[in-house]
Structure 1
């Protein structure tokens, strides 16, 4: 699958601009803000998503929901706060924005990095 065929949902306020960086790498992005729920994830297209990025760890309960709805989903936490213990086993990648820039993370997720 090429990066142009990838679809990501970025959930949370995304202050770092990861959604924009993903789009720059050819990934189609749906942004979700506010209180998240299963219906909101379904409406955003989670069943067709390749990547689910959570930028607000207070909404970590959405990780198991997203995984339940989508086979093969890559789950990513891109946040400064620590991921709650109950969801750590369901996260594929947890990155602190102070460690890796949105561009670097987007290249990795899109498969376009060197």
Structure 2
């Protein structure tokens, strides 16, 4: 399993591709593929037939996975996309920190 610098629940911004500059919340992470599903990013249109799950059917819009290398976490303090650093707190827990201002990214 590969290490991924974003986690579920992070607010991220897209740094390359068709959705460049857009922000969204990470819904799901796929560490083996190094991909993530981000709310409102990389939308696809699917045509679904009516079924038990989707009784209405019709055109459905859904998010597709995007490579995590195209994502940067947004720091809650400085409100900008930032690189991720790591730091060890006094109690011995390892946390992710903002490289720009030093704010802890893990909640």
TM-score tier, shorter chain, comes to under 0.3
Q: Structure 1 or 2: larger strand share?
A: 2
**TM-score if structure 2 supplies the norm length?**
0.22
Larger radius of gyration: 2
**TM-score if structure 1 supplies the norm length?**
0.21
Structure possessing the higher relative contact order (Cα contacts under 8 Å, 6 or more residues apart): 1
